[in-house]
Structure 1
Amino acid sequence: MNSRLAQISREVSYALRHAPQEYGLKLDGKGFVPVEALLGALNARHPARRAVVREDLEEIIAISDKKRHEIVGDRIRALYGHSVRDKIERVPSAPPEALYHGTSHKALESILDGGLLPMGRQMVHLSADVEMAEQVGRRRDGHPVILQVDASAAHSDGLEFFEGNDRVWLAANIPAQYLSVLYS
């Protein structure tokens, strides 16, 4: 992704996940805003920058390895990572048997005591594969701890899981009993 699109992608994520009000946007219950409203807000904040158009957003979505956003008709939303106060409506889904979470060595003891908590987000983010968990974990630790989540057992015990995209799953929390250290 070129630097212009990368910068736009970061700003779109910020606007749709964390600060829609700063852009004059209001997320609907599922986290959508009109594409035209987002484009207007982005372009108003950066009048000297080449205007962002729908095709830019479509290209960002198409080439992103993390699939953070989606456009449906004339609306766009962030798929996961929200820290806004109002809860985003999600439909529960049966998770794969195992999911993964990359974390720092520093956080490990706390997680093994109290489970995975969403911290400043609405949901705990889980990875569908070890590679994604490693990538996420490296943001906080050069050699992250990879936790395996017994998602099948957790789901059987009544925990709800939500699909963020094909590689990211979400849950309100994951109690420690469903966690094991895959490697550290």
Structure 2
Amino acid sequence: MNLVDLSKEISYALRHAPWEYELELDEQGFVPIAQLLHALNESGTYECEVTQADLEQIITTSEKKRHEIVGDKIRALYGHSVPQIIKKEPGIPPAVLYHGTAHKALSQILHDGLKPMQRQYVHLSADVDTATRVGKRRDGNPVILKIDTEAAQKAGIQFYIGNNKVWVCDRMPKDFLSIFHSKNIAM
């Protein structure tokens, strides 16, 4: 079984289209593992039965830590685009976070700040490498923005825990952003 493909399908089901799998997310984004396994196995996509052990292996071997199991339930930790707001656990982030973005989006971001766009939250990275990888999805040489989280918190911005490399917030005003790195912009 290709666990990468399975992980992508689980992310799609839990983050973007639970209704396509007849799943109902609770207010924290959890669904019963049994429901998810039933939906995955009913599809006939996989050559053998998907088991809870497969889900656990995906979670323990994934560098990005996209999912978690608590008791008999599973959820995606971040990246939701479903209409239902998934409640996140507030936390105190590192003093600085980063955000990778495309050059074409930079002027809008510097004018309006970071907005969740098609997602529920703005995603921020705990390190430059993660921000760069994220930014490269839209630009081969992304701009890396630096976020002053201490000043943002003092201004009332709430941060939520995504995982050990991702933090989320509802929005990030431009006042707390600065360009950390870009090869195509004069600094």
TM-based fold match above 0.5:
yes
Which of 160, 163, 168 is 2:161 aligned to? 163
Length-normalised TM-score, structure 1: 0.96
Residues 95 and 155, structure 1, Cα contact 8 Å, conserved in 2 = no
Provide the rounded CA distance (Å) in 1 between the counterparts of 2:44 and 2:5.
12
Q: Which residue in 2 is equivalent to 1:132?
A: 130
Say which SS state the counterpart of residue 102 (structure 1) adopts.
Answer: strand
The one-letter code of the counterpart of 2:99 is: H
Residue in 2 that maps onto 1:49? 47
Q: Give the Cα–Cα distance (whole angstroms) in 2 for the partners of residues 100 and 48 of structure 1.
A: 37
Q: So what's the TM-score if we normalise by structure 2?
A: 0.95
What residue in structure 1 maps to residue 96 of structure 2? 98
Q: How many residues get paired?
A: 182
CA RMSD of aligned residues (A): 1.0
The residue that corresponds to 2:30 in the other structure is 32
TM-superposed CA distance for 1:47, in Å, is: 5.7
Show structure 1 runs of 4+ deviating over 2 A: none
| Deviations 1:39-82, CA, capped at 9 Å, x for gaps | 00011112663111111111111111110000011100000000
Displacement after TM superposition at 1:24 (Å) = 0.5
Aligned to 1:77: 75
Alignment partner of 1:109: what SS?
helix
Look up the match of 1:154: 152
The offset of 1:89, in angstroms, is 1.2
Residue 100 of structure 1 contacts residue 133 of structure 1 at CA under 8 Å; is this kept in 2?
yes
Structure 2 unmatched ranges of 5 or more: 183-187
Code of the aligned partner of 2:148: D
Matched residues, percent identical? Answer: 56
